[in-house]
Amino acid sequence: MKLNKDGEKKRKPKTLVFILLLLSSFCFVYYFAYIQHQQELAYVRSACVPVSTTGEEKELSLSSTIVQDLYSKVRTNIREDIASPIFDNKMKLYLAYRQIPTSKIYQSNCNLFSQTDMNPFICKESQDYIPTAFKEETLQLEVKKLFGELQDIANANIQLGNSCIGGYQYIAERGEYVSGYCKEVATTIFKVNKELVQATSRKSVIQLKEDVKYYGAEGKDLPASLKSGRYIYTFKLDTNYNYVLISKELEK
């Protein structure tokens, strides 16, 4: 055993070595945890924040819930396109009507329903037909959710063109929309193929791009109002955190 000059035992700095090893281990564990945390944050930002909050454009998954939800609100079929090819207030009311939950629609009666204002829809109560209705404020709520608080779309009959699509008459005296029935069947010989091909976001805006191809029938030309091409739906996040539809345009 080695002695120092005073004859005392010479102690090795075991305590200092232990402390240094402990600090090194702590630093290594902390650094590893930090790196893992940063990786988890990056994943969460990518997986859980579907839209871009910056000026950079971000590609959205077509199967994501936000894209599928927005597209389902605005996608139309061939019968709807033929009945109302113009994206006007009548179409906007109709699209808003499509969003009304079934729980908000109830059995009603034909009181004050005009039998001439919505040909070919009529309303005659019988054992075979009981009309349904919903409140005007129910529809206006869906209008604001789909098109924004500043949209001023007046209440009006819900019917696309003169077709059997829609079928709710606005009765101001009752503050309700009341359904009629149509004996005709809304059919067409024309066809359409629609495909959602791209969804992007930038800041508070989401754009959906839809490829549309209309097909005529043998011996029948397509109506001039049906235009094939790529349609762009532009949605913007409003102050109520709803993505509202700003426009539907045919890409030039």
Interior CA angle at 81 toward 152 and 249, to 5°? 60
CB < 8 Å & 24+ apart, contacts of 219-226: 220/189, 220/190, 222/190, 223/82, 223/85, 223/190, 225/82, 225/85, 225/86, 226/81, 226/82, 226/85, 226/190, 226/192
Q: What is the pLDDT of residue 43?
A: 42
Q: What is the pLDDT of residue 33?
A: 61
Q: Domain extents for the chain?
A: 77-179, 188-250
CB-based contact 124:180 (threshold 8 Å):
no
Query: Can you name the residues that pair with 134 across neighbouring β-strands?
Result: 177
Q: What is the pLDDT of residue 67?
A: 97
pLDDT in tens, the chain (252 residues): 455 555 455 555 667 666 767 777 666 666 666 666 555 544 434 444 456 556 789 999 999 999 999 999 999 999 999 999 999 999 999 999 999 999 999 999 999 999 999 999 999 999 999 999 999 999 999 999 999 998 889 999 999 999 999 999 999 999 999 999 998 877 889 999 999 999 999 999 999 999 999 999 887 889 999 999 999 999 999 999 999 999 999 998
What are the C-alpha distances in Å from 147 to residues 96, 161, 238? 9, 21, 9
Using a cut of 0.75, tell me whether the model's pTM lies above it: yes
Q: Which two tokens stand for residue 187?
A: 């059919």
Tell me the pairing of strands 229-237 and 243-250.
Answer: antiparallel
